[in-house]
Amino acid sequence: MISFWYTIVLVAAIIISQISSHWIVVWIILGLSSISMIPIISRNTTPRAVEASVKYFIFQALASAILLGGILVRYINIGTFGTEGIYTTVEGVFILLALVIKIGLFPAHFWFIDVVSGLQFYQCFYVIVISKLIPLIFIINISTEFLSNAYLIVGCSSVLIGSVLGTSQVQTRKIMAFSSVAHLGWIVIIIPYTNYIVPLLLFSCYIVVIGLALEQCNNMSLYSIGNARKQSQSSEVLLFLISLISLGAFPPTIGFLYKWIMFIIIIKEGLFMVAAFLIIMSVISLYFYLNLAFNIFSIYWPVNKSVVLSGVSNQNGLSITIGLVIIFPLFFLGPITNYLW
């Protein structure tokens, strides 16, 4: 019940942030949403959960202080607290740094990884998805040509960290955390080169995939490969494997669709070296997703051969979900490519 009411506060904060055009109001909303997250992620009284809650609070407070400094610099420079208008390099860097710290991207990714690794899977969803919505909206709002290089540095560094460091992880929550860093890095790279809606739509696609993965991890008690619950249903195993290959952007899943869209945008802007770098990082990240999928498959296959043999097409809910994750993107791949190109 407590989580329900704090979730309502978070949803209200997200809605208010959409209609607010005053930085002081935005600062208050961000602080309110951060405080509302604390009771949700601190419901467990284990030392690891308490440590995660304290780290979350400290870095959110640090980001709020930096954001307030950026807001004051903006007021000194142009005499307004409005969120609309042009952002100079100095104030833009301050505000961007604060928002980047809040969502756990480079150079402040380390706190995010530690916090996620100390939470339950349903709490991970709040930190990985819900807490990032408001900062991401304003990262999109402040994007200007003066800050395009900063966005590129933050995005590419986040993709590098999320892809390379994720290969050495065996804890599922850490893999999901590094995955989030890498995927958000892709989105940050394209923000200066597209309109307001595209990054939010791409993030919505990511929510579908990561939400499915976290749900199945929770159902399977899959905190690490070694302690997987082998009595899980075959449908849970299959959905988790599909969500993994979708996170790895393996065609023709939703994950492939939104990375394909971002790749086209980057190519159109002439950022060929960035595109080549992202392809290499995608291959690396696909490796650890497939490695995890193979390990899970090898654990569950001897117990749950019915994944294939019993015919999952008879399970309507499962069939619909698989269709949305795999078949659905195929209908839009061609039209979207033609539109963007």
Model confidence pLDDT, tens digit, residues 51-60: 888 899 999 9
CA-nearest of 93, 107, 237, 245 to 185 is 107
For residues 285 and 248, the answer to whether their CB atoms sit within 8 Å is yes
Q: Pick the range with the lowest mean pLDDT from 27-31, 252-256, 311-315, 325-329.
A: 311-315
Mean pLDDT over each residue of the chain, to the nearest integer: 80
Question: Can you list the alpha helix ranges (DSSP code H) found in 104-169?
Answer: 109-117, 121-128, 133-141, 148-166
Type of residue numbered 94: F
* Overall average pLDDT of the 125-137 stretch: 89
Report how far residue 76's alpha carbon sits from residue 190's, in angstroms, rounded to the nearest whole number: 30
Residues 6+ apart with CB under 8 A from 191: 139, 140, 143, 151, 199
> What tokens were used for 267?
């190519």
Would you tell me the crossing angle of helices 172-190 and 148-166 to the nearest 10 degrees? Answer: 160
Task: Count, in order, helices (H) and strands (E) of the chain.
Answer: 16, 0
DSSP reduced 3-state for 224:
strand
Residue 313: pLDDT band with limits 50, 70, 90:
very low
Residues 6+ apart with CB under 8 A from 292: 172, 175, 225, 244
Residue 22, phi then psi, degrees to nearest 5: -125, 125
Residue 314: pLDDT band with limits 50, 70, 90:
very low
